[in-house]
């Protein structure tokens, strides 16, 4: 004769079922949230948001707003000495100026990569002249898409757009795979 299922076993089965459903719903929401960012990344566009302003920009549209500049910044690869490299990109202040985005009451700027891991820069970093750039080239080469595992240049990847703070001495605050910029008030 079979032994009946204990009350503790039933509770455990129900708990496992509830956790599995919650995990599935959470995973769906995360993937759906990143869907829009992945679409921006694949189309190589950057969304800029400020108060009542939201617009997606292609590379050519960014070139109409700001002239690309060449600048130097430090790149610190893992377990190696820092390297000074030459980059080309759009100064973020120039873009904000062309779009008449007022920064005086802003607290900072949020940068969102296609994977959804937000990085926020203090407004003082943004307001420092020639400091924050949306880079698209390093040493004359375009940033390749992808990450170090699949990039032909494992040290420099995450393109097509990478946020670089020129005055950052260790390059830890870069934002690769950039798809969205939002001014925070």
Count CB-CB contacts under 10 A for residue 125: 18
Quote the CA–CA distance of 121 and 174 in Å, as a whole number. 10
pTM for this prediction: 0.78
Quote the CA–CA distance of 48 and 181 in Å, as a whole number. 5
> Could you read off the pLDDT tens digit of each residue along the chain, which spans 185 residues?
677 788 887 888 888 888 888 787 666 666 566 778 888 889 999 999 999 899 999 999 999 999 999 999 998 877 778 888 999 999 999 999 999 999 999 999 999 999 888 999 999 999 999 999 999 999 999 988 866 555 455 567 788 999 999 988 877 789 999 999 999 99
| Partners of 90 in the β-ladder | 134
Q: CA separation (Å) from 106 to 18, 94, 119, 172?
A: 43, 16, 16, 23
């Amino acid at each position: 004769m079979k032994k009946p299922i204990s009350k503790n076993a039933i509770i455990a089965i129900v708990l496992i079922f509830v956790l599995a459903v919650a995990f599935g719903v959470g995973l769906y929401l995360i993937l759906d949230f990143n869907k829009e960012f992945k679409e921006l990344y694949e189309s190589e566009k950057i969304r800029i948001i400020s108060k009542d302003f939201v617009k997606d920009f292609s590379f050519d549209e960014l070139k109409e707003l700001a002239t690309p500049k060449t600048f130097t910044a430090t790149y610190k690869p893992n377990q190696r000495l820092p390297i000074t490299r030459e980059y080309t990109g759009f100064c973020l202040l120039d873009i904000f100026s062309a779009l008449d985005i007022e920064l005086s009451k802003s607290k900072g700027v949020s940068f969102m990569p296609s994977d959804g891991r937000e990085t926020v820069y203090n407004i003082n970093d943004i307001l420092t002249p020639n400091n924050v750039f949306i880079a698209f080239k390093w040493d004359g080469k375009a940033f390749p898409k992808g990450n170090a595992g699949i990039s032909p240049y494992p040290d420099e990847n995450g393109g097509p757009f990478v946020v670089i703070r020129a005055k950052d001495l260790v390059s830890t605050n870069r934002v690769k795979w950039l798809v969205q910029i939002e001014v925070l008030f």
